[in-house]
Amino acid sequence: MTDTRTLAETVLDLCRRRGWKVVTAESCTGGMIVASLTDIAGSSDVVERGFVTYSNEAKTDLLGVPSQLIAQHGAVSEPVARAMAAGALARAPVDLAISVTGIAGPGGGSVEKPVGLVHFAVARKGKPVETEHQIFSGDRDQVRALATRRALELLTELTD
């Protein structure tokens, strides 16, 4: 299994080869994705910015996610993840955006949306937004680390 640092290095290398810039829009990971990228020296040629939009208001104010969308589907949903990625792509001079919204726990889950549920969306200029969701097991730290790792994997898959 590839570690997070190696995944981040791979994302940076693949983006450099294409001349791409990246933005993150993070909720439950609280900036861990962009931190994993910026932990690597020289990442400024790829990483443009990271939005940490933990609250619903931040999702609306910073990314343009319609408040009605959040009210209808909840912050942890595929439509909101999709809107977060599209909003980040529209608000930064980049080629690629990743968004993450989920329930890291230990509380906050429900039968429909259990603790560990994380929605991902990746937006690329000129391409449809791609989404997926995962249900990770473990405590809060594990869910956040696994979500960060999966986000980097998704970026690697899109740039490969």
pLDDT of residue 1: 66
Q: What is the pLDDT of residues 72-112, one digit of tens each?
A: 999 999 999 999 999 999 999 999 999 999 999 999 999 99
Which pLDDT tens digit goes with each residue over 35-78? 999 999 999 999 999 999 999 999 999 999 999 999 999 999 99
Instruction: Identify whether 41 is part of a domain.
Output: yes
Q: Which pairs with CB-CB distance under 8 Å and at least 24 residues apart come from 61-66?
A: 62/87, 62/91, 63/25, 63/87, 63/88, 63/91, 64/90, 64/91
Q: Is the full-model pTM beyond 0.85?
A: yes
Residue 10 lies in a domain: no
Tally of domains in the chain: 1
Q: Which residue do the tokens 């995944």 mark?
A: 7
> Residue 155 maps to which CATH number?
3.90.950.20
Residue at 40 is within a domain = yes
Domain with 105 in it: 23-159
Residue 7 domain flag: no
Question: What are the tens digits of pLDDT across the range 25-38?
Answer: 999 999 999 999 99
